[in-house]
Amino acid sequence: MLIRYGYRITLESAAPLPLIAQLTARPERRLDLRAPEAFRTDPAVPHATHIDMFGNLRTRLTAPGGCFTLESDAVIADSGLPDPVFPAAEESPVEALPDAVLPYLAASRYCETDLLGELAWDLFGQVAPGWARVQAICDFAHAHLAFSYGDADQFRTAHSAYAERKGVCRDFAHLAITLCRCLNIPARYAFGHLGDIGVPKSPDPMDFAAWMHVWLSGRWWTFDPRNNAPRIGRITIGHGRDAADAALISSFGTHELREFTVWTDEVAD
C-alpha cells in the first residue's frame, strides 16, 4: 500500500530563530519512499541535515523572524500489515543484554524509574515475564490515563502522568516505558506519523503520534499504550530515551505557533 504523509507548521518570532527540526522519516524507511520528501520553507532559507546519536535525521536552519513555515509532503510504500504480535517473545537477563540497549534501562528526563519502581513490581512482578508482562503494562497505562489533546503539557513526566491520570500519547508512552524499565525490560520512546488506516476515523484532529519499542527475544517490538492495539502504517520519525531525545522542533529563542497541520492517508497505487 502507499501512504501520503506530511505537515505544514508555521511559527512566528520577533527575531531570527535557530531551529533543529526532526520531522523526516528515519533512514531505514528512506528506500520505501516513492520520491524524495518535498521539504521547503517559506521564506526559503538554507538548511543542512545530519544524523544524531540515535540514528534520527535532523535538519538545522534559522528562521529569519516574522512568520516562517516548514512544509513537507511525501509518498511511502508500506506493507499494509499491522504491528507484529509475538506472544512467545521473552525477556533477557540484564547481563545478557547488548551494550547498545543498556541506556534504555536507565532513568531519563521524562521517565523516573526511581519514583515508579515499587509500583511496577507491585502491579506486574507476578505477571509472566515477556510479552504478557509488557502487554499488561500497556493495558494498565491505557486504562489509567484519560486521553485529551487539551491536556498536553511539555513538563508532564511519567510519574506526574500517573498521578494526574491524564495526558496525550507521549504521556501514555512515557508511563509504559518507565514501568518496563523498572522491571529491567529495555524500552525506548518512538514517534512519527500514524494515520487512521484500517480503523474508524478518529474525531480528534490528526497529529503526530508517540509509542514505544520494547526489547524482547533479541529485537525491538512496537507497543502502543495509547491505542493499545496493532496499527497499520506507522512511519517512524525518531526514537530515543524519551521525548527529550526526539523533539519535533527544538527552538533557540521565543516564538508562537501559528499553524500545525499534519496528514497521513492511504492513497491509490
Same domain, 160 and 198: yes
Same domain, 39 and 172: no
What would the grid cell of residue 183 be? Answer: 522491571
| 57-63 sheet: strands from edge to edge | 47-51, 57-63, 17-21, 249-251
Look up the CATH number of the domain holding residue 14. Answer: 2.60.40.2250
Assess contact for 17 and 62: CB atoms under 8 A: yes
- Give per-residue pLDDT as tens, 248-261: 999 999 999 999 99
- ∠ CA 179-183-189, nearest 5°, is 45
Across all residues in the chain, what is the average pLDDT? 95
Tell me the CB-side half-sphere exposure of residue 245, using CA atoms within 13 A. 21
- Give per-residue pLDDT as tens, 39-83: 999 999 999 999 999 999 999 999 999 999 999 999 999 999 999
Same domain, 101 and 130: yes
Same domain, 127 and 7: no
Answer yes or no: is 228 within a domain. yes
Residue range of the domain that includes 104 = 94-241
Same domain, 103 and 236: yes
Domain count, the chain: 2
Same domain, 226 and 115: yes
Q: How many CB atoms lie within 10 A of CB 99?
A: 6
- Give per-residue pLDDT as tens, 140-151: 999 999 998 888
Answer yes or no: is 179 within a domain. yes
Same domain, 107 and 166: yes
Assess contact for 211 and 263: CB atoms under 8 A: no
Same domain, 208 and 185: yes
pTM of the model: 0.96
CA distance 122 to 104: 21
